[in-house]
Each structure stands twice: as C-alpha cells, then as structure tokens.
A and B are shown apart, each in its own frame.
Chain A
Amino acid sequence: MSAIVKVSDLTRIFDVSKPWLNRVIERSPRALLTAVSEVSFEIEENSVYALVGESGSGKSTIGKIIVGLVPPSEGHVEVDGVDLATETDAEKIESIRSEIQMIFQDPYASLNPRWTVRDIIAEPVAVRGGKTDGLAERLLEQVGLSGADAGKYPHEFSGGQRQRICIARALAAGPRIIVCDEPTSALDVSVQSQVLNLMSDLREELGLTYLFISHDLTVVHHMADKIGVLYLGGLVEEAPRDRLFDDPKHPYTQMLFDAAPRMDAFGREVEPPKGEIPDAINPPPGCPYHPRCPIAVDRCRKERPELRRLGETRVACHLAE
C-alpha cells in the first residue's frame, strides 16, 4: 500500500493579538497561538487514520489544512504527490480538490436551510459544471434515505438523517479521501452506530480513505486502522490501533485511556488525572505535557522530545521505552 496523503512538518500559527491600538497603549506584545506544531504523518490508501486529542489539541485545524480550508504556516500536505500550496497547474489542483471532501461535526449547521436536499447534494458537482440529473436521488439511496426525499429541506430530517445527507454531499464529487471531523459526536448512541456502519460500508464499496477526527476513544477504536494522538498541537504518539490500545507508550495516551469512562467499570474509583491542557499561547517549555506528567524528570522540563520510533509506534517522550 502507498501513502495517499503525506503531511510533513505541518505548522499553523494563528495571530490572536489584540488590535494594534490596544497593543500600543497597553504595551502588550503580539500573541501567537501555535495550533499545530511540526506534525508529520502519512495516510495509506483505503485505510482509516484517526486523530484523537482533547479540545485545543489542533486536530480540527489539521483536518481543515488538509482539505485546504486553512493554509498552513509552514510545512506541506501532499495528496497523491501534489502539494496544493505550491502546485501551479490549475487543472491538477482542481482534480485533487474534488478528490478530498469533508464531513463536519454539526449536521444542523453544515446544511444550508434554504436549499433543498437535491441542491445541497448536487452542489459539489454543479460548481464544476458536471451533470447532476438523478445524482441526488441515487446518492440518497446509497446512504440509506429515500430518493423521494430529494425535494425536502434539511429541517425536515432528524440529526442522523442530516448526517447521512452530509455524507451523500461528500460522496457527490466522487472523492477518494474524506476528512471526517467528529462526524458522530452530535448524534445519539443508537443513531451513531447506524452512521458508523454506513461509513464502514461505503469505505469498502468505494475504496475510500478516511481521516477520522474524534475525541471519543471507543469510536476511534472501532473505526481506525492507525491512530495519532495529539497534545497541544503536536503529535505525541502514533501507532496501529491494536498496538496503541494494548501498549500505549506516552504517559498522555495512558492517561486518556485511564480517564475514559468504561461500561464495565461499575463504581470504579480512579485517581482522576491532574490539571488541564495548558494555554497554547504560552506553552510550557520542554515537553508540553510535563506539568501534568506523573513521571516527568528534569530533562522533560528543558528539552522538547522528538518523535522517535519504537517498533511500530512513534512516540514523543524522553522516557518511553
């Protein structure tokens, strides 16, 4: 298998400074928020790569950079060997663009309420001047809705059905890669399982590749082939699914697994994890996790650990072995 998406040294810095006049009067310096910091990974064709992390870990920003909604500050994203940020051949860019689609978290906010479902689903094809006859109906059937619903508006559907419409829209352009940003976190459990099953089926039928962004470890365990764990914008650990769940190397990954509620742990008494994600504008020096880490040593406070390989795992921790 070959890598279809290659992300190398991706960095995104947002300027969150106060307005110019405030900075002059209050003598406050520019504030720069590093949302993504030097992240590199590869997604293999027809696989599911999951990014997990807590809020503010940069997982959604990476998804947006890959589909081209946010430009990177540094680093490259190569899709099928084409770097969208530097490529000059318009035709090539166009064809790659239609190969990547995105599904958003909130199916209530990501469908235009004034458009019929038919127009919403056909839009990605219509903007490129393609033929849209019967396309919406066919796609609706494919995602388990009725083709007769194409004339309805989004408000006539439930949350789970809306997310199916979002999936149909993403499929319309005939993509090879779909970036799914928390696709089921707004849905109820029984509806979530329907949508996840649909996504698995489509992947097999159409040979899709997913970048699956989620904070829910149980969902990630079910869907992903390979998982990258993000903390404060940086990749702290990456491993194939079973490897990661059986033998997490990074203390942060271990903490995430321990803290996640389990259905078989009745009345479990755990020592809850300490602290919260630090401020991304003034991240701690050295390893970003050291203020919360139970095994941190002096070196962690000074030197930022690089990702290094341990068998199938890549981990950014001085002490992991």
Chain B
Amino acid sequence: MSTPVLSVRDLVVEIPTRRGVLRPVNQVSYDIHAGEILGVVGESGAGKSMTGNAVIGLLDRPARIVSGEVLLGGEPVHQLKGERLRKLRGRKMGMIFQDPLTSLNPLLTVGEQLTETITEHLDVGQSEARRRAIAALDEVGIPAASQRIGSYPHEFSGGMRQRVVIALALCAEPDLVIADEPTTALDVSVQAQIVALLKRLCREKGVAVMLVTHDMGVIAEAADRVAVMYAGRLAELGPVREVITNARHPYTAGLMASTPLASRGQKRLRQIPGAMPRLDNLPAGCAFHPRCDRAEAACRQDPPPSLSACDGRAACWFPLTDKTKATA
C-alpha cells in the first residue's frame, strides 16, 4: 500500500497540572490514506479533539506532545515550530471547526479571507487567487459565488458559513483535512447537506479526512474506518461496518447499544453504568473496567495492550468475539 497521508504513531500528549500530569492522549496510533474518511468517536473528554489539535499543531500550552510521532506524507511534523509549522498549516493540512461563526474573521469579507489563504500558500497573483476563491465557494455549493464573495460572515446562515469554512480549509489544496464536529451546531437537514459535501470533496480531491464527532449516525454514513476513543486511549479501530455491527470492545458495544436507534421497540434503553473517569483520577488497569461487565482481575491490574501491539482491532484483555456474543 502507498504511504498513508497521515500516520500517527504512539502519540502521547501530556498536561502538567498542580494535581499531577494528565494524559488526554495516550499511546494513540492510526493511519489515514488519501481519499479516506477516518471517523473518530468518543464521549466528551475522551481526547478526540485533543488528538486532532496535536496533529495540526494547535495544542495550547501547557499541553504538549511528549512522545510518539506524527508523520504527514512520511515526513515528521510534530516537532515543527513557528514559521515552518505555519507554512504547513493550511497548505498541507486544513481544519474545520465546530462553530463556523467563531472560526471566521467577522471584520473581513469571505473573499478576503479566502484570497489571503490562497496567496499565502500558493504561488499565484491577486486576480488568480480571486478566481480560485470564487471557484472554491462555487464548489462547496454557495449560490451566486461571484457576488457572495464580497459578503461578510454575518450575512451568511449557519449552514452557508460552515460551507465557507470548508472552502477555506480546502482552498490551498491540502492533503489532510481535520473536521472537528463540523455538523454539531447545525440542523438535521443542513447536517445532511454538509456530510454529503464532505464525502463528495473527499472522493473527488482524494483528500484524507479525519472526522471527529460524537454522532454515530454521521460516522456510519460518512466514514470508511472508525476509531473509538475512551479516556485518552484508542479502544477500538476498524472498518465502520464492522465496528458498528460487530464491536469487539465492550465499551464500543455498550455505546452502540445505548443509542436510541439501536434499541428501537424496546421499552428501556441499554445503558452503560457510571460515567467516564476524570483524567486526574483514572482507575488502575483498563480505564473502562469499573463500568465493564466483563472485567476480571487482569483488567484491574494492567492496562490492555495498545492497539498497535495487539491484533489491531480492540484494546481489551477479553474482547468480544462471535463466540462470546452467541452465548451472551
């Protein structure tokens, strides 16, 4: 197989605090290939956004990468700083944030923001940049792009603003796009439009997409593979159909079963007892064991092997297999 666009190897992010060192991202490894959408799911505080920010170099102090590496097209980028990192961001990696209103500059027209990004990263003049900006807006489905290019962000609706943000992330033709909850702030009908747009652009341009979300439905429809995170670690990684219909990690199985969709027709929803532990108070062994009905002595003592070390599917001492499912 060709070199993956993004390759994250044993990434560890630490935040030193007064109450000890927290590890919001712990031994995370995954690849994303060109034209592939990798979904990253998990509950709030699981480390999904922190992983995305670490990849694109947007970690706020005092959070920092302490070990592991981030390879973009085979080149290590996790140690880059300042000007070299800035040249890479936007050019090689684009980012789409959750709230489109706060990720656009309210004082510049969308045209100015697009042409600024294009002239900064690509070797083109002003008029060519403007032409490309219109093409980019046209591509994300903004009607009358040549007129709307002079509009300010507040003149667009929420869905249209998110389209502008996507155009902005893609205008310098990056290889990788990190989309952090891109549809969470939007209505269902607009969400469907944005998901369809992301899928189309990913396929047409061969961009690798890291789609961070907590919505299983969005993942099922858009992603090729999915990574499930729990308390900073990858719990499970695999093809989306496999992970959703045939989960190996008890946490993934519980998460899927507790969505109202999965328990259609049942009076009560399946629930996972308890809540995700706080990072400053992680239980010993597997972080999920206090909530897991399959936990045994080994789970309380040692953390399960990370994904890269075991079979590569579920980080669990006693993963669910077809056999255990049949008896359950």
Please give the residue numbers on chain A whose beta carbons come within 8 Å of chain B beta carbons, in ascending order: 54-55, 158-161, 188-194, 196-197, 200, 215-219, 221-222, 255-256, 258-270, 272-273, 276-277
Whether B267 sits at the interface, judged by CB under 8 Å, is yes
CB distance from A242 to the nearest CB of B (A): 10
CB distance from B251 to the nearest CB of A (A): 9
Whether B84 sits at the interface, judged by CB under 8 Å, is no
Residues 186 to 228 of chain B near chain A (Cβ within 8 Å): 187-193, 195-197, 199, 214-218, 220-221, 224
* Structural contact, A221 and B188, CB atoms closer than 8 A: no
CB distance from A270 to the nearest CB of B (A): 7
Known contacts A158-B275, A259-B188, A273-B193; is-contact A190 B254 (Cβ 8 Å): yes
* Structural contact, B221 and A259, CB atoms closer than 8 A: no
A277 contact set on B, CB distance < 8 A? 187
* Structural contact, A189 and B196, CB atoms closer than 8 A: no
Residues 254 to 281 of chain B near chain A (Cβ within 8 Å): 254-256, 258-264, 267-272, 275-276
* Structural contact, B270 and A193, CB atoms closer than 8 A: yes
Pair count A-B, CB < 8 A: 121
Q: Please tell me which one of the listed residues B189, B199, B275 contacts residue A191 in the complex, with CB atoms under 8 A apart.
A: B275
* Structural contact, A268 and B269, CB atoms closer than 8 A: no
A193 contact set on B, CB distance < 8 A? 258-260, 269-272
**Residue from the set A188, A194, A255 with the largest chain B CB neighbour count within 10 Å:** A188
Q: Please tell me which one of the listed residues A191, A197, A260 contacts residue B217 in the complex, with CB atoms under 8 A apart.
A: A260
A and B contact pairs by CB, cutoff 8 A, 25 listed: A54-B188, A54-B189, A158-B275, A188-B43, A189-B258, A190-B43, A190-B258, A193-B258, A194-B271, A217-B188, A218-B259, A222-B264, A222-B269, A256-B188, A258-B192, A260-B217, A261-B215, A261-B217, A263-B244, A265-B217, A266-B240, A269-B199, A270-B196, A272-B193, A273-B192
Q: Please tell me which one of the listed residues B44, B193, B262, B271 contacts residue A197 in the complex, with CB atoms under 8 A apart.
A: B271
Whether B174 sits at the interface, judged by CB under 8 Å, is no
* Structural contact, A189 and B214, CB atoms closer than 8 A: yes
* Structural contact, B258 and A192, CB atoms closer than 8 A: yes
Known contacts A261-B218, A263-B220; is-contact A189 B255 (Cβ 8 Å): yes
* Structural contact, A215 and B187, CB atoms closer than 8 A: yes
- Find the B residue at minimum CB distance from A52: B188
- Find the B residue at minimum CB distance from A292: B189
* Structural contact, A268 and B187, CB atoms closer than 8 A: no
* Structural contact, B261 and A276, CB atoms closer than 8 A: no
- Find the A residue at minimum CB distance from B218: A261
Whether B105 sits at the interface, judged by CB under 8 Å, is no
CB distance from B293 to the nearest CB of A (A): 14
Kindly list 19 other residue pairs between chains A and B, CB separation below 8 angstroms, not including A261-B218, A262-B221.
A54-B189, A55-B187, A189-B216, A189-B258, A189-B259, A190-B258, A193-B260, A193-B270, A221-B260, A259-B189, A259-B192, A260-B188, A260-B192, A261-B192, A261-B220, A265-B221, A267-B221, A272-B192, A272-B195
Flag B125-160 by CB within 8 Å of A: 1 or 0 each.
000000000000000000000000000000001011
Known contacts A55-B187, A194-B271, A276-B159; is-contact A222 B260 (Cβ 8 Å): yes
A260 contact set on B, CB distance < 8 A? 188, 192, 217
Complexed CA–CA distance, A197 and B220 (Å)? 25
Whether B241 sits at the interface, judged by CB under 8 Å, is yes
* Structural contact, B269 and A276, CB atoms closer than 8 A: no
Q: Please tell me which one of the listed residues A215, A216, A221, A266 contacts residue B221 in the complex, with CB atoms under 8 A apart.
A: A266
B190 contact set on A, CB distance < 8 A? 276
Complexed CA–CA distance, A159 and B43 (Å)? 12
Complexed CA–CA distance, A194 and B260 (Å)? 11
Q: Please tell me which one of the listed residues A256, A258, A266 contacts residue B220 in the complex, with CB atoms under 8 A apart.
A: A266
B218 contact set on A, CB distance < 8 A? 261
B195 contact set on A, CB distance < 8 A? 261, 272
Flag B38-70 by CB within 8 Å of A: 1 or 0 each.
000001100000000000000000000000000
* Structural contact, A255 and B189, CB atoms closer than 8 A: yes
B215 contact set on A, CB distance < 8 A? 261
Complexed CA–CA distance, A192 and B244 (Å)? 19
